Amino acid sequence: MLLTDFIIFVLSLWVGFEVISKVPATLHTPLMSAANSIHGIVLAGGIVIAATAHNLVGYILAFVAVAFAAMNVVGGYVVTGRMLKMFKRRVAPVPASPAVEASPNGKASS
Amino acid sequence: MSGTFNTVIQLIYVAAASCFVLGLHLMNNPATARRGNQVSVAGMIAAIAATGALVIHGGLIDATGWIVIAAGVLVGGGLGLYTARTVKMTAMPQLVSIFNAVGGGAAALVAIRDFMTIGSGIGASTSVPTLLDVIIGSVTFSGSIIAAGKLQGVITSAPVSFPGARIVNMLLAVIAVGFGAYVIASPNMIGLGVVIAAALIFGVSMVMPIGGADMPVVISLLNAFTGTAVAMAGFVINNTALIIAGALVGASGGILTKLMADAMNRSIGNIMIGGFGQGDAIVAAAGVAGAGVQSIAADDAAIQLAYASKVIIVPGYGLAAAQAQHEVAALADLLESRGVDVSYAIHPVAGRMPGHMNVLLAEANVPYPLLKEMDEINPEFGRTDVALVIGANDVTNPAARRAGTAISGMPILDVDAAKSIIVIKRSMGHGYAGIDNELYTNPKTSMFFADAKKGLAQLTASVKTLVG
């Protein structure tokens, strides 16, 4: 069981490296915030320990763990969404010529 | 526990994990990133719901347990929602730090509680991840709170250290690991208590000596720690979803830590030893306008900008510190409306956390296609009329290309290739590396001595008067 878990852990690390190294620097803050929300999955851990708690200490620990994790997961996703909403291609159509500048990328590189 | 039920739960966990990976993958483009976040949310809801079902199916939970969960979700979720909705974008690093703290803290609590339940009957296959979780989680918890305090300015952002601090740090690490090994060998609560205390103090003493400018690295590293702690919690309670999600975050934090350290030309070890970085208030005593430096007035700078055909804006830490992102966007808008081609050159460590400058500019309604990464923009400086440098110092210093300087080998923006350079800066004070910036004495460079926010407002006003 431990070995299987360990294999899953190592492979997930590699998947993480592969996927995340493709994220552009422009999005690194939202990326970190999104990763932050994902570790809010520890809420599942909080629920599991709340289930086995049958005394005061257990309840208190479970409450703090659940509250921490819930703050993490809810706040993380909401703020990530808020940030990503701000990334706009163009806000108000400016009648300048940015399209002209963008086109010679491939060809006119003399 | 019935086999089929368990299989279904495991399948939901795999689906949730796939959502997390897909969500992160969709973040490779600003156009799809929002969908990525939604996919990730869907995965999270599924995983939490499955865990709820698992708990009900297990039949161990009592009524108080449910109340505890409900109360925790309400209190924590409410707090999270409130802070996420109200936080200013300049305060994002603090918020991320706080979320790291609570995530790490929750992971540590899960392991502590599990250890208490099992007691001395714990096997090595559980006790090793338990101790790792407790140590990493506790260090993350206290360290992230200190980091957030430094970023918020509640705790001084200057390095705080005392003689022998490194020895104390090492001692704390030895105590945490040593007692950890002891608890694994013979499980007992007192030993675990010592481990928790040592790890918590270590978190504080690790972050205190690190200066404000090094925060992008520290936050990334603590992010990686939190991920690892959550993965360890997954080992402890034997939950695949936690292991996968934790590993993904660990990888993400690891990559960002490496990128940030590289962009600062420093090793991670060097930063963690600390005591070298400086605080926010880098108002050096150096005199204004030294030898070979030409200063420029707002009107003259405005003429250059207004009649340029291509301008690159180079925002740095100083712009973020002065919170001048709206002013810079206003100037850029004005220039663009005159047909000037404006783009932004963003160095990886501009701002206080990875990519922070991009978020600040996006908030000021700068369209993201104008935000250019270092490798993308560097070839463009050669055909740029004016490079406007605002609060960026070391990342523009050509000395980095030579061997033998404090910043040798550091990746820089090739600002000096532009036809003309205007630098908005409060004084000739040194940047973080503490060396002279050769860009400032370049004959093509004019210095506009002003606070970033006021200086930009002046420039905008001058351009407006100039062109009517």
CATH 3.40.50.1220 fits domain B294-467:
yes
- Give the torsion through C-alpha atoms of B224, B229, B230, B234, to 10 deg: 130
- Give the torsion through C-alpha atoms of B449, B453, B459, B460, to 10 deg: 180
Q: Do A26 and B44 count as a contact with CB atoms less than 8 A apart?
A: no
Interface of A with B in 12-51 (CB under 8 A): 12-17, 19-51
Is residue B394 annotated as part of the catalytic site, yes or no? yes
Grade residue A91 by pLDDT with cuts at 50, 70 and 90.
low
The CA R_g of chain A, rounded to the nearest whole Å, is 22
What whole-number distance in Å separates Cα of residue B347 and Cα of residue B336? 22
Question: Comparing C-alpha atoms, which of A38, A11, A9, A100 is closest to residue B103?
Answer: A38
> What average pLDDT does range B178-190 have in this prediction?
92
Q: What is the predicted pLDDT for the residue at B342?
A: 95
Q: What is the predicted pLDDT for the residue at B291?
A: 61
Provide, as residue numbers in chain A, all residues whose Cβ is less than 8 Å from the Cβ of B44: 37-38, 40-41, 73, 77
Please report, rounded to a whole number, the percentage of residues in chain B having pLDDT higher than 90.
Answer: 66
What whole-number distance in Å separates Cα of residue B437 and Cα of residue B318? 15
Q: Which residue of B has its CA nearest to A99?
A: B341
Q: Do B248 and A12 count as a contact with CB atoms less than 8 A apart?
A: yes
Interface of B with A in 216-255 (CB under 8 A): 219-220, 223, 226-227, 230-231, 233-255
Q: What is the predicted pLDDT for the residue at A110?
A: 35
List the single residue in A1, A10, A31 with the smallest CB-CB distance to B27: A31
A25-59 confidence digits (pLDDT tens): 999 999 999 999 999 999 999 999 999 988 999 99
Write down the mean pLDDT value for chain B.
89
Write down the mean pLDDT value for chain A.
85
A57 Cβ under 8 Å from any chain B Cβ: yes
Exactly one of B114, B214, B394, B414 is catalytic; which is it?
B394
Interface of B with A in 66-85 (CB under 8 A): 66, 68-69, 71-77, 79-81, 83-85
Grade residue B284 by pLDDT with cuts at 50, 70 and 90.
very low
| β-bridge partners, B389 | B314, B423
3-state secondary structure of B424: strand
Q: What is the predicted pLDDT for the residue at A96?
A: 47
Tokens for B336?
């663009």
Per mean pLDDT, which of B69-73, B208-212, B289-293, B461-465 is the most reliable? Answer: B69-73
Grade residue B231 by pLDDT with cuts at 50, 70 and 90.
very high
Interface of B with A in 151-210 (CB under 8 A): none
| Of B226 and B158, more confident | B226
Residues 6+ apart with CB under 8 A from B332: B311, B313, B342, B344, B366, B370
> What average pLDDT does range B292-307 have in this prediction?
90
Domain locations along chain B: 3-273, 294-467
| Of B371 and B159, more confident | B371
Q: What is the predicted pLDDT for the residue at B124?
A: 81
> What average pLDDT does range B46-54 have in this prediction?
96
3-state secondary structure of B315: strand
CA distance B303 to chain A (A): 20
B41 Cβ under 8 Å from any chain A Cβ: yes
Question: Comparing C-alpha atoms, which of A1, A43, A75 is closest to residue B246?
Answer: A43
Given a cut of 90, whether residue B34 has pLDDT beyond it is yes
Q: What is the predicted pLDDT for the residue at A78?
A: 97
Q: What is the predicted pLDDT for the residue at B274?
A: 58
Grade residue B160 by pLDDT with cuts at 50, 70 and 90.
confident
Given a cut of 90, whether residue B248 has pLDDT beyond it is yes
Grade residue A92 by pLDDT with cuts at 50, 70 and 90.
low
Q: Decide: residue B449, CB within 10 A, 0-12 exposed, 13-18 middle, 19+ buried.
A: middle
Task: Work out the angle between the directed axes of helices A56-86 and B92-118 (0-180°, nearest 10).
Answer: 150
B321-358 confidence digits (pLDDT tens): 788 989 999 999 999 999 999 999 999 888 788 889 99
Q: What is the predicted pLDDT for the residue at A107?
A: 40
Given a cut of 70, whether residue B289 has pLDDT beyond it is no
- Asked if the ipTM is above 0.95, the reply is no
Domain locations along chain A: 37-87
DSSP-derived letter for residue B404 is T
Q: Do A66 and B76 count as a contact with CB atoms less than 8 A apart?
A: yes
